[in-house]
Amino acid sequence: MRFKDKNVIVTGAARGIGRATVERFVAEGANVLAVDLDFGDVGSIDIVNKENAAQAHALALDLSGDDAPRRVVEAARQLGRHVDFLINNAGVGGSKALALSDDALIDRILAINLRAVLRLTRDMLPGLADGGSIVNVASVFGETGFPGSTAYAVSKAGVSQLTRQLVADLSFRGIRVNAVAPGVIHTAMTAHRLSHDADYNRAMVDATPLKSIGTGAQVASVIAFLCSEDASYVTGQVIAVDGGWLACHSHA
């Protein structure tokens, strides 16, 4: 129960890494505001079992909307007087090579993956506890080149740099800021490519030294570590959770 009575916001919380992160924090005693466009209404969300469902509350919200940060801030006030941890996980894929990327695609990916993170983090800062933590979900694609992923890769590279920049801006408050960079993970975003794209499987799964696909729970465990006292001297890091893919990518 490392996070008993701690207040947490998790975006992109309906499935995949976000859902697993909510489950992890609830299991360790936290109160969680779970934000996702796919939630139907604000209210309780049954995350682990009925006994602790009251610890997690769902907010249905498009984070690219003009009033999205304000609505999250207002909903967060229901958790308590401050927020201890902000987990910026929400993201979209569907990227293409730049020559095939129209304005609508570029705008959509940057709006959710980067602009929404900047705006929400900015507006949450007054309510974020001194000594708290921010964990951003970046990607291995933001750390190295990968064919056909321009807007997505650029957005995630921005998230990684935001992580480092916030250390320069927020450390005086004792706020630690880190990121995780997942590799190939079982999520709704990767399901189609894993099932239908042989080139993607060769480039990602076959080239992963651990020869396996990661799970949301494995990423969530690193996020939880970064928020814990065990990581009290860790800040400004982008930690790959990728089975070794990034370490060996240039040699694959």
Query: Which residue numbers are catalytic?
Result: 152
For residues 78 and 127, the answer to whether their CB atoms sit within 8 Å is no
Give whole-number Cα distances, 250 to 14, 85, 98, 146, 183, in Å: 34, 34, 22, 11, 14
The Cα 220–Cα 235 span in angstroms is 17
Residue 190's identity, in one-letter code, is T
DSSP state at residue 215: -
Give whole-number Cα distances, 18 to 42, 59, 174, in Å: 17, 13, 25
Using only C-alpha atoms, what is the Rg of the chain? Answer: 17
Q: Positive or negative, the Cα torsion across 19, 229, 55, 170?
A: negative
